[in-house]
Amino acid sequence: MSQTVLVINSGSSSIKYQLVDPETGEAIAKGLVERIGDPVGKIKHTHGDDVTIEEIPIADHEVGMREVLRLFDNKGPKLAEAGIVAVGHRIVQGGKYFDGPAVINDEVRNLIEELCPMAPLHNPAHLKGIDVARELMPEIPHVAVFDTAFFQALPEKAYTYALNAEVAEKYAVRRYGAHGTSHQFVSREVAKYLGRDDLKQIVMHLGNGASVSAVLNGKPIDTSMGLTPLEGLMMGTRTGDIDPAVVFHLARQGGMTIDEIDTLFNKQSGMKGLTGESDMRSVWEMIFNDDDKEAQHKARVAMDVYINRLLKYVGSYTAELGGLDVITFTAGIGENDWDVRKELAQALEPFGVKIDLAANDGRIGEPRVISTPDSKVTLLVYPTNEEFAIARLAREVI
């Protein structure tokens, strides 16, 4: 077997992993440990066509990681023979410290810990994964790959909020962005695919969480997520952009606490908040169902809000880029939701954007141009692959 990288994404109650060939992106084996800490947890390990599912108690991350190593040993491929050159850890928040991947030593580990207040749901969970994996695989280099690193190259005017400078400095308040590994991977692959580096690109990472970036000649110049992944586009359960004074209003008039408003904005808003459903497939079902006019209207309005937000970002980023060569759609909605792509493209028709409806049709698992040859802007679907990107970056840095 050639060289491989074990990619680990450790969440608060889960560990997602994939053994990746960093040359080709092939996932040699992958799995998910879920419900860590519950009375009964679940592990799914896939190696080729062989799928193993086990339901057993998984007390903590250490037990979970030991189970993963056991499954590799029993179900294959045996890690000792898998040619692992690095373990790549996905880290949500790298703050101002990391503008690229970093080999994890105690200093790097402690900086990730220092950043916990900036990503209270994510960084502590990543640390558990790092600590356990380093202990169990001490002979292999461990690499942290940060979701924020790509956007450390943003110009000052893009990452600075017009907030009192002293307060912003004291509390490290600025735009860090998120999904950076995906935006970097996709924008680079698009440049290769189109055979040009000098591109004015807009990348739309539309998943349950969603963000858009403007990339000029390979460098990010703006992105929609901010201090946290709440800012920007409307998402499955998040508001995206909203007047910050709504917070004061809900606190004063509604007597809501900060934690309640946090939950409301992050988990009970967006598509879910407007329609009751966070998944786009369910929202389209409501739109296409003539039997329930009320739900249909609600869902249509929500979709209009969603598309309109995308449109606003295309407009402002085109102005910032000084023109536009390509819009790329990626992630769950970007790759699979042809109606979202179609409605956005049709709204851009006055600017010479022409979608090829036949090419756009269906779910798209391979890179594909979905605009007509005479469209002023190339529309592209390019599947993202964050595990491949992490594996590649981890191998590069060692």
In this structure, what DSSP letter does residue 371 have?
B
Residue 281 near ligand ADP by CB under 6 A: yes
Q: Pattern of binders to ligand ADP over 359-388, x per CB under 6 A?
A: ----x-------------------------
Q: Is 135 exposed, middle or buried (0-12, 13-18, 19+ CB in 10 A)?
A: exposed
Q: Are strands 84-91 and 41-47 parallel, antiparallel or unpaired?
A: unpaired
How far is the CA of 174 from the CAs of 30, 147, 149, 258, in angstroms? 35, 15, 14, 20
Distance CA 303, CA 207 (A): 15
Question: Is 147 a catalytic site residue?
Answer: yes
9 is in an annotated binding site: yes
386 is in an annotated binding site: yes
**Helices 280-288, 293-321: inter-axial angle, 10-degree rounding:** 130
Length in residues, the chain: 398
The interface with ligand ADP within residues 1-60 (CB under 6 A) comprises none
**Which listed range, 47-55, 81-89, 123-131, 278-286, lies at the site for ligand ADP (CB under 6 A)?**
278-286
Interface with ligand ADP: number of residues (CB under 6 A): 13
Contact 213, 178 (CB under 8 A): no
d(CA 30, CA 360) in angstroms, rounded, equals: 30
CB of 173 to ligand ADP, least distance (A): 24
User: Contact letters (x/-) for ligand ADP, 81-110, by CB under 6 A?
Assistant: ------------------------------
* Cα(234)–Cα(270) distance, integer angstroms: 5
313-352 footprint of ligand ADP as x/- string (CB under 6 A): ------------------xxx--xx---------------
User: Please, what is the minimum distance in Å from the beta carbon of residue 68 to ligand ADP?
Assistant: 21
User: What are the residues facing 366 on neighbouring strands?
Assistant: none
Q: Rule CB under 6 A: choose which of 77, 101, 141, 209 binds ligand ADP.
A: 209
- Packing angle between helix 180-194 and helix 386-397, nearest 10 degrees? 90
Distance CA 199, CA 221 (A): 12
- Number of residue whose CB is nearest ligand ADP: 332
Residues between 210 and 249 that touch ligand ADP (CB under 6 A): 236
Residue of 60, 73, 147, 325 marked active site:
147
> Any binding-site annotation on 289?
no
Q: Nearest approach, Cβ of 266 to ligand ADP (angstroms)?
A: 13
Question: Residues forming the annotated binding site for substrate?
Answer: 90
Binding site for ligand ADP (CB under 6 A): 207-209, 236, 279-281, 331-333, 336-337, 363
Q: Which residues are catalytic?
A: 147
